Amino acid sequence: MKPTKTLMCAMAVGAMIFAAGKVSATPGVVTVSGTILSETDSNPSSGVYVGTVTKYSFKNKDILSLLADATGNTWFTNNGSQLIYDPEALNSDATDNYSYDVYGIFYVTNTSTHDVYRLDGFDVLDSYYSYVEFDSYGFYELTGEGTGLGFWHDPALGENYVESYKENDAKGTYSSTATLHSLLYIHNDPYQYDITDYPGAIFSNSQALIIRGLGTFNYSVNSTTQTEFFTLSGSGDGYFSSSDDTRSVITGKVTFKSQGPSVH
């Protein structure tokens, strides 16, 4: 595996780091929603076999419920609970595990009780674990900073990106829109992470979902304010129990928005 460089993109993405010293805004809320198609098989009468596809929607509350079951933290499903992403925080645990700098940390927080639970780390046996990962590769050649976000593998995600941008040094403004390959993976077995290098890891989960697709990242900064907005729309797989009839096909959308003071 290799570290990504600067455009910290996908389900929640950070900003580009430029020589002028622009860094990411504050952590933001991640929103996940979509549609699940599941198959149910039945044998209504002798010699008759029927497969039925059921369509239903999922939202953030369903994601938080999955994570609540996985971690045992029932407060994840309480009112005010949110999935939070800090895209540019140095993830020291993942860095120690992979021996290169990795950025980006997921949390569940609650706006009323102020509970906070980090979704990756090391257990008591000193084994690394992670319940949520966002993978994306982009702008590796841009600055040579050597920073990384998520776990990724070139053939699995693709390396190319396209970007439109405008920088005005006199006014101290910059804006850009970039499109690149991205993946979001949420799962209940914390030791089955790094889906891009180990795609079979999903089969070890009883609850999991993957959304793969093209992400669009919008970034703007002026003398006072910095804004980041990311959207990932795509499709993928889901597993919601160990039985075959609960395998699912997923289409979904992930958004992240963060706004804060610009740093120069």
pLDDT number for residue 11: 34
Helices (H), ranges, the chain: 60-71, 92-98, 140-143, 154-157
Is 147's pLDDT higher than 70?
A: no
pLDDT number for residue 137: 67
pLDDT number for residue 14: 31
pLDDT number for residue 233: 94
DSSP states of 2-41 as a string? ----S---SSS------TT-----S-EEEEEEEEEEEEEE
Is 252's pLDDT higher than 80?
A: yes
Is 242's pLDDT higher than 50?
A: no
State mean pLDDT over 59-76.
Answer: 95
pLDDT tens figures, 29-56 = 999 999 999 888 899 999 999 999 988 8
State mean pLDDT over 102-113.
Answer: 90
User: Do the Cβ atoms of 165 and 151 come closer than 8 Å?
Assistant: no
pLDDT number for residue 7: 33
Top mean pLDDT of 132-141, 144-153, 196-205, 229-238 is at: 229-238
In the predicted model, what is the mean pLDDT of the chain? 79
Is 119's pLDDT higher than 80?
A: yes
pTM: 0.81
pLDDT number for residue 152: 59
